Structures are given as structure tokens and as C-alpha cells.
Amino acid sequence: MKRGFTVTELMVTIALIGALAGVAIPVIGGFRESANQASCVNQLRALGVAMEGYLTDHGGFFPEMKMGRKSKGGGENVLEKVLLPYVGGPEDFRCPADHEDFQKTGCSYFWNHHASGMRKSRVVMFGMDSNHSQIPLIHDKEAYHGDENGTNFLFMDLSAGKDPDFQIESK
């Protein structure tokens, strides 16, 4: 004898599936955000390798660049134009979690314009004399990766992450 589902069994099954989906969706969203952040960090490291290529070709001097631009029609002396010959293409300047800035400006990242035109060994920030390797060179334009601390940085030593370590020594 064949037995069909009763309305009660069907409702319990639907409720169970709904509860599992309610738990799984935030977890999957968290995995997606972690993947985007890791991809962004790798993107920044690739820009660091491109910058090293630039430094090799230009005697150890950083390019003269603006921090960024407001639209794609802006100037030529910006990160996405200067480093383009050293990367695979324009998409290399897009953070996977950026859904606005790249479309408007052609880049998801800002350049530390205080390093512009300087020799790599001479860059100083906030009076940091020692450990200048932790000076940020490139960073996300916005906190694309969650909370207000969701900004990734590429540092002078080509390490990348979301935790800047500013240790200023008093004299």
C-alpha cells in the first residue's frame, strides 16, 4: 500500500528546510566575504609586484601620482594608468568587493601620494624612522570588507592585510 505525505508532514519538512536555509545563508555570505577579502589582498600583492617592476625600471623612485581620481576621464598620473604596463589589464585594479568605485573611476584603490616621486628608501610617514616597511602604499578606497576596519592595505615591504601597524617613536 502506498502512503502519501500528510499536510502536517509536508509542513514540518518545509519548516525544517526553511530553518536550515536560514542558518546556511549567513554562513555562505560570510564565506563569500572572506573569499573577497582574500582575493583583494592577493590583488594588492600583485600591485606590489607591479610597483617593484616600476621601481626597478625607474632607479628605485616611486612614480609621481595623485591619490586617485573622481572619474575615468581624469588625469593620467594615477595608479591605474601608471602601473597598467606592469599588470595583466585594467581589471587588476578592481577589488572583488567593490561594486561602485571601479565602475566610476577605473580603480578600487588609493595611492599614498606622500610617497610620490620619492626614493623607496626615503619614504617616511608620521615621523616613522624605523620600521618604515609598514608604511601603507596602496589601500582600498572604501571599507569594502565589512565594518569600518574593512580596508585592506599594501605596505612598503609588499605585505598586505587589513591591520596597519603605525608605531611612531617619540624623540
Would residue 121 count as lying in a domain? yes
Grid cell for residue 92: 587588476
Would residue 168 count as lying in a domain? no
Mean pLDDT across the chain: 81
Would residue 166 count as lying in a domain? no
Task: Name residue, grid cell 571601479.
Answer: 102
- For the stretch 116-154, pLDDT in tens is 998 887 777 655 555 567 788 999 998 888 766 678 899
Would residue 122 count as lying in a domain? yes
Q: What are the φ and ψ backbone dihedral angles of 121, each rounded to 5 degrees? A: -75, -10
Would residue 71 count as lying in a domain? yes
- pLDDT confidence of residue 24: 63
Would residue 167 count as lying in a domain? no
- pLDDT confidence of residue 62: 92
- pLDDT confidence of residue 135: 85
Would residue 2 count as lying in a domain? no
Owning domain of residue 14: 7-161
**Average pLDDT score over residue span 164-169:** 56
Grid cell for residue 101: 568605485
- Banded model confidence at residue 73, pLDDT cuts 50, 70, 90: confident
- pLDDT confidence of residue 143: 86
- For the stretch 6-46, pLDDT in tens is 878 778 888 888 777 777 666 565 556 666 667 888 899 99
- pLDDT confidence of residue 141: 92
- pLDDT confidence of residue 66: 92
Q: Please state the domain count of the chain.
A: 1
- pLDDT confidence of residue 151: 87
Grid cell for residue 66: 595623485
Would residue 67 count as lying in a domain? yes
Q: Does residue 48 register a pLDDT over 70?
A: yes
Nearest one of 124, 104, 96 to 38, comparing CA atoms:
96
To the nearest 10°, report the CA torsion of 24, 29, 35, 40.
180
